[in-house]
Amino acid sequence: MRLILGSASPRRRELLAQLGLEPAAVRAPDIDEDPRKGEAARDYVARMAREKAAALSCAGDEVVLCADTTVTCGRRILGKPADEKEAAEFLWLLSGRRHHVLTAVAVRTTGGIRERLVDTVVKFRPLSNAEVNGYLASGEWHGKAGGYAIQGRAGAFIPWIQGSFTGVVGLPLAETALLLRAAAIEAGAE
């Protein structure tokens, strides 16, 4: 079976490499990623992973892996900030609070789609003006759900997490490895 990564994210490719897996191809799906009015964050992120997997072609010898990550604070979905102003708004909202990072994984074969949703609780310590402005100036917030990357400078803002670190980065490895094994792709196999 050939592994097809349904994501242009370099972080997801790096995480797959930690499992000893290199995708045979990368195909980024082009779908509408806007949440529906009133859609709960868990439903939204699961729908996104499913729709990404369904949007890509899948031959008989292929396994398509797609994922979606979102940050939620209360009932609010914090996607990728549109600009620096929105990134600042997200950081101030998260400052001193717990929030959830939801990552849904969908694995598609010609036999159907298998999926998992991983919910990780992340605690931000209270942030100062200098920290928020420094982080914004770094540009690291670009293209990141919730406006931050735990594997980068924002790691200094996070005293603890409960759940999957790799799920916060964008692909929960333990759950992904199990889904891929069920689709005949073994992590770490040569």
Q: Which of 38, 7, 42, 33 is nearest to 118 (CA)?
A: 42
**Is 187 buried (19+), middle (13-18) or exposed (0-12) by CB count in 10 A?**
middle
> Per the structure block, which two tokens stand in for 109?
């074969």
The end-to-end CA distance of the chain, in Å, is: 13
Q: 3-state SS string over 153-174?
A: HHHHHCCEEECCHHHHHCCCHH
Q: Which of 49, 188, 42, 165 is nearest to 113 (CA)?
A: 49
Euclidean distance between CA atoms 100 and 164, whole angstroms: 11
Active site residues: 68
Residue 183: HSE in the Cβ half-sphere, 13 Å Cα cutoff: 29
